[in-house]
Amino acid sequence: MIATESKIMHFASTVYQALDNFFPREGRWYLFGSHLTLVFIAWQFYGLQRTTEQIALAYVAAILVEYVGFRLTNKYTGRSFWKDRAFSAASEAAGLLVLVRASGTETYAIMAAIAVANKYLFRIDDQRHAFNPTNFAIVLGLLIFPKTIFDVRSDEFALHLHPILHVVAFGVLATWRGNSWVITLSYFAMLALGSAILPHVSGESFLFHFAPEIGAIGMVFAWLMITDPRTTPRERPWQILFGASVAAVMLVLRLGEVFYAEFIALFIVTTIRTIWLLRVPELRSS
Amino acid sequence: MKLRRHNLISATVGTLIVVGLLVKLPKEENFPYKLPDKAPERVIQGVNFEAWGEDRFPTAWFKDEMQGRREKNLPSRGLLSPYLAVVDLNLDGFQDLVFSSKERIQILENQAGQSFRLSDQSYGLDLKDSVLDGVLPDSGPILFADLTGDGILDVFVSAYDAYRFGRGEIRQGRLHFVGENWRMGREWSIPDSVNVADINQDGRLDLIMGNFLSGPRDGEGSTAHWLTAIAYDNKTGGSDYILIQQPTGHFKVDTRFEFSSRSYTHAVGILDLNQDQYPDILLANDYAIDELYMNQKGQSLQDITGRWIPTHFHGFSGMNADIQDWNQDGWLDFYITNAYRPPVKNTRNLLWTRRPEGRFELPAKSASIGYCGFSWGAKFSDFDLDGDLDLFVTNGRTRNLHVENPEQSPSIWFRRAMLTRMPNWLRPDEQGQFNAQQTRTGRFSVSAFEEDCVFMQDVTETGDRHFYDVASRAGVTARKEGRGVVLVDVDNDGLQDVLVSNFFVTPDLYINRSAKRGDWIGIELIDERGNNHPIGAKITLKFADGGSAIREFYPANGYRGQSDHRLHFGVGKSAPVELEIRWPNGQVKTYRDLKLNTYQTVYQSQVPSRPPHAAKMQKPKANDKVGRP
């Protein structure tokens, strides 16, 4: 019996080891896989409302700015630009192409440049930046672009199950390998808890509060944005607090009928965290 | 220390952005739904519209109807607002107004341009006991055209798989319509628009049905789809189709002219894109991209949307399809309205402007024309007769029947926006609960109480063209939820007036009292059969300075209405020298004896064998039969 158990454990361990060796540890590869393929599939099959020029310019701008930052700073010393940073930059551009709808040809390029530049400009230590690049570009876009040319919406994805499954599949891998799944879990737990409580305040149903976050945008946000290993805590208790805080702030903003609440909530929480780290430098790993 | 400085910068920037967001992103109702009025004085000077009151434009009948709905506590969703038609029913030379809401057709007779009165004549348009009586949901697009080709106007009214055709006759000096009922077996199609053209150029007019909803008997339960439809849904709406008139006079759906999607079509626009005389079709669609179809010599339709009107600009809430050459470059352009209500909806109205090589583009300098709230019907006209086309746009989405001022009606845009973010399979039940809750609470609005837009075109000395919204200063101040817009010259003074139908509230009639900045030409076309609605005619007015203005005769272009059939050209200070008309049968004729500042009749035949009214007095031919397919 013990021998059988041992064999099973050994088999499981072998399988896990094989998976562990097969799937890269760095979450950005899954971000890259998710967003670039999603943009491509949507472009080909959903009729993504982005022009070829917008898509191309966004990628070029992101990679260019990444290159400049890479050369001028020591943030990614020891890494290869083309094998590492270029993919990261392209992922950030793709994320914006998925989440944002803008009419200007150059808008995505500007936003992609802002997203990438943010990594080099706003840091909390040598390796980590303060704000998630895509989130930073979106909130700054909300601030600087007139509403006539900029919006955060992904109508093309809303009719299909595919984008949700697509993002979740890559998101599970990203959070598993990046050891940040606790953030997503705590985010959804707080969202569920809040959605159960809020009907007593708003008069709406549980689903009314919860379900908007399980659409395509919500999935990108929950699995691939708030779990960004470079802008989120590494230790489990802090991860739980981080994920739950984002959900809580978002629900409060929603109650106030604030649009784009999740993006603003994430930005508020990361800003508070940045301030916290400023005050308590020894907790910088949190 | 270096790290601390980095961190300090990040924390400061983050804080500033958060503060900026909290300041810049107020609640939804504080966002402006149109751009501020920045019209120079020279543009606004003299522009004036007078809203006729109950004494001259009776609307009590509409109030009564609405009161009945309030008492029944009927929900305010649905499509109820009358379809409009402008037609001279009593042949007195003044245009009468027809309101069709399927349940009833109301006629207002024009009293020599001084006022309107409720008609005591039915003109055969009473729909009681017709096939349309009792058909749900509400609909009722109406269209007047000489479908039988006998020189007399006929009428076509449509609803869910039910059509009422009225053959026109002249009785005691008035038009009278003798009704026939049709059912086409198209049970998945509830029309929101109908237009008319000779699609296959066989000399017989065909009907293009723009269908918004699929029917309640649809296996896919499309009415639920409509309640929950979201952008980029071109599969669950109504199925547009074309009724081709057969040599026998019967109409039949011709599968060669199938459209490639099932979108939520609000408006059908007709124009001849490539000047081959075969009419091409523009569909303004809700929830999906708009569509443009090139007629393949009357054999089929080719979808040219992506190549001609780039889809990434589309607004997913297309409502209107008015077609005019707004910049007088010799090519027809079109204007599709969309919803604009930041931060929820920031799509805009699209002034697709033709490039000579074929593709349409959105001119940057006309940007202001893009923003007019939750826009619906729109019509181009030269309101001040300065020689340039201006534009009237109506807007506003909905409010509960009991809400009579903005303070009573919290916006539910936010909650609707949250619904549209839900995955598709979760939405219907939530939407149903949401609607039920709203009906119970009885106080809500969505883009309600918006003021219409009057965009006056201003051409600078360098030739730049700008539009300025002057509605407030021009007297267009009603804050209702508009739908259809038609143009009509009520008093034949050469200034086109505007009739607006509203959603659940009384219609508005704006009489244009603007100071005339130039001359005008008004033309009634009479084709060789004595028909004064020569659908498909192309008219080019040429000026002494080499310029020209063009029109194509499709009076039902726009949204929810058929405008005055008389062609109207404001010519400003230019001197018109020649009128070139390509008549529907392809004959091209030029006319030089043009009279300014009056309506004149232009005949296709040099010596008209049948002047229009005399022609109408003749009995219709026995063979000209249109009927049940």
Q: SS3 string of B53-93? A: CCCCCCCHHHHHHHHHHHHCCCCCCCCCCCEEEEECCCCCC
The whole-number pLDDT of residue B624 equals: 32
Nearest-Cα distance to chain B for A13, in Å, is: 37
Count of Cβ atoms closer than 10 Å to residue A8 Cβ: 10
How many interface pairs between A and B have CB atoms less than 8 angstroms apart?
160
Count of Cβ atoms closer than 10 Å to residue A20 Cβ: 12
Helices (H), chain A: 2-22, 28-41, 52-72, 86-99, 107-121, 133-144, 162-177, 181-197, 199-202, 206-210, 216-219, 236-255, 261-279
Query: Which helix (DSSP H) or strand (DSSP E) does residue B578 occupy?
Result: strand B576-582
- Residue reference for tokens 């008093």: B491
Is pLDDT above 50 for B618? no
Using a CB–CB cutoff of 8 Å, tell me whether B430 touches chain A: yes
B47-61, B115-129, B211-225, B530-544, range with the lowest pLDDT: B211-225
Which residue would you say has higher pLDDT here, B354 or A14? B354
pLDDT digits (tens, 9 = 90+) for B321-349: 999 999 999 999 999 999 988 877 778 89
A6-15, A115-124, B508-517, range with the lowest pLDDT: A6-15
Using a CB–CB cutoff of 8 Å, tell me whether B8 touches chain A: yes
Which residues fall within 8 angstroms of residue A42, CB to CB, at 6 or more apart?
A: A48, A98, A156, A157, A163
Rounded distance between C-alpha atoms, residue A219 and residue A222, angstroms:
5
Using a CB–CB cutoff of 8 Å, tell me whether B4 touches chain A: yes
Angle at B291 between CA B290 and CA B294, to 5 degrees: 155
Mean pLDDT over B135-148 rounds to 79
Is pLDDT above 70 for A284? no
Would you tell me which residues 175-214 of chain B have a C-beta closer than 8 angstroms to some C-beta of chain A?
Answer: none
The whole-number pLDDT of residue A216 equals: 82
The whole-number pLDDT of residue B619 equals: 35
The whole-number pLDDT of residue B38 equals: 85
pLDDT digits (tens, 9 = 90+) for B549-572: 999 999 999 999 999 999 999 999
Mutate to test the interface with B, among A50, A155, A249 (most CBs of B within 10 A): A155
Q: What residues of B are in contact with residue A215 (Cβ under 8 Å)?
A: 421-423
Mean pLDDT of chain B: 85
Could you tell me how many residues make up chain A? 286
Rounded distance between C-alpha atoms, residue B141 and residue B125, angstroms:
13
The whole-number pLDDT of residue B415 equals: 78
Using a CB–CB cutoff of 8 Å, tell me whether B20 touches chain A: yes
The whole-number pLDDT of residue B613 equals: 47
Closest B-chain CA to A48? B312
Which residues fall within 8 angstroms of residue A269, CB to CB, at 6 or more apart?
A: A242, A245, A246, A249
Q: Among partner residues B15, B313, B418, which is closest to A208 by beta-carbon distance?
A: B418
Is pLDDT above 60 for B188? no
Mutate to test the interface with B, among A162, A204, A274, A277 (most CBs of B within 10 A): A274
The whole-number pLDDT of residue B446 equals: 85
**Contact, A184 vs B393, CB < 8 A?**
no
Contact A267 B20 (CB under 8 A): no
Contact B230 A54 (CB under 8 A): no
Burial track B17-52 (b if 16+ CB lie within 10 A, e otherwise): bbeebeeebeebeebebbbeeebeeebbeebbbebb
Contact B14 A122 (CB under 8 A): yes
The whole-number pLDDT of residue B541 equals: 97
**Contact, A286 vs A232, CB < 8 A?**
no
Task: With CA atoms as reference, report the closest residue to B190 among B144, B233, B242, B136.
Answer: B136
Q: What residues of B are in contact with residue A125 (Cβ under 8 Å)?
A: 3, 6-7
pLDDT digits (tens, 9 = 90+) for B423-434: 777 766 666 666
Using a CB–CB cutoff of 8 Å, tell me whether B289 touches chain A: yes
The ranges assigned to domains in chain A are 26-149, 156-283
